[in-house]
Amino acid sequence: MKIRRGGIRMSNKTCLICQGTGCVSAGSREIHASLEKEIEQLGLSKDVKVKRTGCHGFCEQGPLVVVEPEGLFYAGVKVDDVPDIARSLSPQGEPLEEKPLYHDSATGNPITHYHDISFYNKQQRTVLQNCGNIDPEEIGDYLATGGYQSLRKALFEMSPGQIVDEVKRSGLRGLGGAGFPTWIKWEACQRAPGDEKYVICNADEGDPGAFQDRSILEGDPHSVLKGMIIAGYAIGARKGYVYVRAEYPLAIKRLEIAIDQARKKGFIGKSILDSNFSFDIEIFQGAGAFVCGEETALLASIEGKRGMPRPRPPFPAQSGLWGKPTLISNVKTYANIRWIVNKGADWFAGIGTEGCKGTAIFSLTGKIANSGIVEVPMGITLREIIYGIGGGIPGGKPFKAVQTGGPSGGCLPAELLDTPVDFDSLKAAGSMMGSGGMVVVDEDTCIVDLARYFVDFATKESCGECAPCRLGTNQMLDILNDIVEGKGEMEDIDILESLGMGIKKGSLCGLGQTAPNPVLTTLKYFREEYEEHIIEKKCRAKVCKDLIHFIIMPDRCTGCHICTKVCPVNAISGDPKQIHEIDQELCIKCGLCFEKCPPKFGAIEKNYGSKVMED
Amino acid sequence: MNRSEVLERFNPQKDNLLGILHGLQNGNPNNYLTESDLKAVAEYLNITFSHVFGVVTYYTMFSLKQRGKYIIRICNSPVCNMKRSLSLADEIRDLLGIGVGETTGDMLFTLEYTECLGRCDVAPSIMVAEDVYGNVTRKSLASIIKKYK
């Protein structure tokens, strides 16, 4: 944007500095402080604005700095780079050409502009539109994007019935994992008698590998609050809760600020925008219980009880918090409401597939070149996400599997890379969308061990109320432990399958009903790895400790002594400058020596078999 | 903040139970809840002691045992695990001489594992008190811990 000031043409630039958790942990606060100082020293403060924003999504490349209006993109910015960036912002300055530019993961070429980066240009960022572009702690920024207009429209131009109808026609389905049609809940709550009703936002995001809800709350909290206020108007509620897990302190802080600012502006509280509708929102902080993400457990938790699920029906829409009709939806579901109200159901229904409308948001992580938060239209294939946006596996290694849906989902193999990503296709493949975790694994991950991790997780997080989940998952874990320790038998595979099916059918809530999925899908698609562990006592990824050993190659060991120092159990012997040896009886196979042996020697090898084979 | 100051911040309603417990635990220099805390909360909210005890033992973030001033939580999720988060426990043993579940002699640090911290993008990740750190290495770990000493 060029503007005229005092007859002189000047460019007015804005530096957006990501303050999401990922970038903050990489040092973006220091970058922000240092850039502000440099710009002041160069006398550019009038023309260059430095702004803190929420997450840009490309967290792995942090700290990120974006310069608007040009859309210049600087990644992995270090404090040392700041003077160069500051100088480039002066009217005579030129965009930087080398570091700290982002380098394409496939070609290695530097890329200057945000919109040329494949991680971004293949996405459709609707819900995430504001994340990274506004300061989440400044309601003015949100208002400048047209924020809260949809609230005005909803309150003054639409009846509650029209809003529910719009949500129905949009085809929006709950983005917490199960994909239940959102309008059914809205309509049930609206029709429920009584004037004491509640709206709850489920932000108890606990799936290992998922963090998109956190990013939205940290980057654009008002979009979620507004969805809740509109929901409150539509169903006739006066009170809302955001249930956030306590592990997300930054999200909680930003929500507190957002609620406070929205209240001061009259968007939350009594007689919103001078209408006769009043609605208040409170934050409720969890305390470390995964099962509280299940809606009835979440209600119990707010009521000050142990967060344990109860049988449904009655559904929360009939009898929820304190026995009153309650609407519970995920963060992303509420964040979509502004678009449905603003742009209409037809616009929303134009995105996605026949049965799944709108966009899906994933946390793309694991062995992937570009990890971060990704928003795509429903129906795009796994391949497009992993290779097109994610840039494939680093180091050109082969893809092994993608785990979607966390502990409720499954692992899909390379043959299924062309599966469309939507609720129904992923479910048909044996996995599920879940809350949006997408963990890519390569040949260095043992599939049996990964499945074992998720079952272990389920046993720890099971609330213990129903026997199939409490006892069944523990039985599965015992069997899987035997298999990874080389003590498995072939009949274990049949037992795992029948146990898994029993737990799915017999458990009370979603946690138990889906807990066997990681095992069942891996048995379906990676059965040979289970069989190898059982018959050959071999872990092809060389992960399972009881099926591998470490050995020092005498021809490469220079006796540098590094391994003896790091070994936590003193299993390595050898005088300095002499060839060292590992005592296999003492070795706990932690792998520290293998990691610390300098690559120029590479003297330690990781081999199959629990012990060194005698000649 | 002492106990009565914490209680004063909350109305005596049952939906404030978790909030009160968080407040009392955070206000305790040893990061835990005492039996008399539990009794006081039960009385304040007019609920049974066993109810409060049941809730405290259900949620993993509450502790009935003394802990250090700062809890170091190492993320134990598969993504952090792939990036060797578990070896960070060994590094902490070297640095502070404590294993998982243990507290330093000066009552400054307790080491725990945690389920996913939701920072898989910058794995491996740890949380110290309320601060989250990503891309943690042996070197950065030492400087992180120094900040709290």
Its sign, for the CA torsion A89, A95, A99, A103, is positive
Q: Please count the other Cβ atoms lying within 10 Å of the Cβ belonging to residue A538.
A: 17
Helix (H/G/I), strand (E/B), else coil: A473? helix
How far apart CA A550 and CA A560 sit, in angstroms, is 17
Q: Which of residues 3-22 of B touch A (CB under 8 A)?
A: 14-19, 21-22
Q: Is B90 near chain A, with CB under 8 Å?
A: yes
| CB within 8 Å: A284 and B114 | no
User: How far away is chain A from the Cα of B106, in angstroms, using its nearest Cα?
Assistant: 24
Residue B121, pLDDT score: 84
Whether ipTM tops 0.85, in short, is yes
Q: Which residue of B has its CA nearest to A464?
A: B58
* pLDDT score of A264 more than 70: yes
CA distance A584 to A609: 12
Please write the tens of the pLDDT for every residue from A68-98.
888 899 999 999 999 999 988 888 888 888 7
Calpha distance A50→A59 (Å, rounded): 20
CATH topology (fold) of A139-349: Rossmann fold (3.40.50)
**Chain A 277-306, residues with CB within 8 Å of chain B CB atoms:** 284-290, 301-306
> Which pLDDT band holds residue A107 (cuts at 50, 70, 90)?
confident
pLDDT at residue A598 greater than cutoff 90: yes
CA count, 13 A, side-chain hemisphere, A608: 8
Q: Do A367 and B82 touch (CB under 8 A)?
A: yes
Question: Number of C-alpha atoms within 13 angstroms, CB side, residue A300?
Answer: 21
Residues in chain B closer than 8 A to A284 (CB atoms): 15, 18-19
> Is residue A62 within 8 angstroms of chain B, CB to CB?
yes
Residues A268-307 pLDDT 10s: 999 999 999 999 999 999 999 999 999 999 999 999 999 9
pLDDT tens readout for residues A544-558: 999 999 999 999 999
Q: Please, which pLDDT band fits residue A449 given cuts at 50, 70 and 90?
A: very high
* C-alpha span between A357 and A182 (Å, rounded): 11
Is the CB of A247 less than 8 angstroms away from the CB of B120?
no
Contact A209 B78 (CB under 8 A): yes
Judge: B121–A453 Cβ closer than 8 Å, yes or no: no
A214/B47 CB distance under 8 A:
no
The residue of B50, B70, B116, B144 whose CB has the most chain A CBs within 10 angstroms, and thus the best one to mutate to test that interface, is: B116
Euclidean distance between CA atoms B17 and B15, whole angstroms: 6
Length of chain A: 615
In chain B, which residue's Cα lies nearest the Cα of A252?
Answer: B130
Specify the residue for token string 């059918």.
A505
At which residue do the structure tokens 């966390």 appear?
A: A406
Q: Which residue of B has its CA nearest to A286?
A: B18
Contacts of B12 (CB under 8 A, 6+ apart): B44, B45, B46
What is A359-442's CATH number?
3.10.20.600
pLDDT on residue A612: 66
Which residue among A205, A303, A454 places its CB closest to the CB of B118? A205
- Residue of A290, A305, A591 with shortest CB distance to B55: A305
The three-state secondary structure class of A243 is strand
Task: Say what the pLDDT of residue A57 is.
Answer: 83
Neighbouring CB atoms inside 10 A of A531's CB total: 15
The partner residue sitting opposite B135, judged by closest CB among A26, A210, A461, is A26
Residue ranges for chain B with pLDDT beneath 70: 86
> What residues of A are in contact with residue B130 (Cβ under 8 Å)?
249
pLDDT score at A10: 42
Averaged pLDDT for residues A361-372: 92
CB contact under 8 A, B17 and A304: yes
**B87 touching A, CB under 8 A?**
yes
Instruction: Decide if B134 and A363 are in contact by the 8 Å CB cutoff.
Output: no
Give B27→chain A minimum CA distance, Å: 16
A62–B118 CB contact, under 8 Å: no
Q: What is the pLDDT of residue A9?
A: 39
How far is residue A382's CA from residue A124's CA, in Å, rounded to a whole number? Answer: 15
**The pLDDT value given to residue A47:** 86
The C-alpha of A459 sits at a distance from chain B's nearest C-alpha, in angstroms, of 13
CA A434/CA A414 separation, integer angstroms = 20
Average pLDDT over residues A367-380: 93
From A1-10, A44-53, A604-613, the region with the lowest mean pLDDT = A1-10
Is residue A415 scored above 90 in pLDDT?
yes
| Min Cα separation B111/chain A (Å) | 16
Domain A545-613 has CATH 3.30.460.80: no
Taking the domains of chain A in order of start, what are their residue ranges? 2-117, 139-349, 359-442, 447-536, 545-613
Measured CA to CA, the distance from residue B34 to residue B64 in angstroms comes to 6
In the block, tokens 């932690």 appear at A590
| Average confidence (pLDDT) over A559-563 | 93
- pLDDT > 60? residue A614: no
CB contact under 8 A, A439 and B123: no
- Matching CATH number, A2-117, of 3.40.50.620, 3.40.50.300, 3.40.250.10, 3.40.30.10: 3.40.30.10
Residue B109: per-residue pLDDT: 97
A 200-259 → B contacts, CB under 8 A? 205-211, 214, 246-250
What is the C-alpha separation between A43 and A389, in angstroms, rounded?
39
**Backbone phi, psi, residue A360, to 5°:** -120, 145
Tell me the pLDDT tens digit for each residue of A36-75.
999 999 998 888 989 899 888 888 888 999 998 888 999 9
In this prediction, what percent of chain A has a pLDDT beyond 70?
98
**Would the CB atoms of A286 and B21 count as touching at under 8 Å?**
no
Residues 97-136 on B with a CB inside 8 Å of A are 114-123, 125, 127, 130, 132-135
Which chain A residues are Cβ-neighbours of B71 within 8 angstroms?
none
Average pLDDT, chain A: 92
Rounded distance, CA B19 to CA B6, Å? Answer: 10
Overall CATH class of domain A447-536: mainly alpha
Cis ω before A325 (30° cut-off from 0): no
Strands A110-111, A102-103: pairing kind: antiparallel
Query: Residue A1 — very low, low, confident or very high, per pLDDT cuts 50/70/90?
Result: very low
Mean pLDDT in residue range A146-156: 93
The predicted-structure confidence for A491-516, as pLDDT tens digits, reads as follows: 999 999 999 999 999 999 999 999 99
What pLDDT score was predicted for residue A297? 97
Do A292 and A243 meet the contact criterion of CB atoms below 8 Å apart?
yes
Count Cβ–Cβ pairs < 8 Å, chain A vs chain B: 144
Quick one: pLDDT at residue A248?
Answer: 93
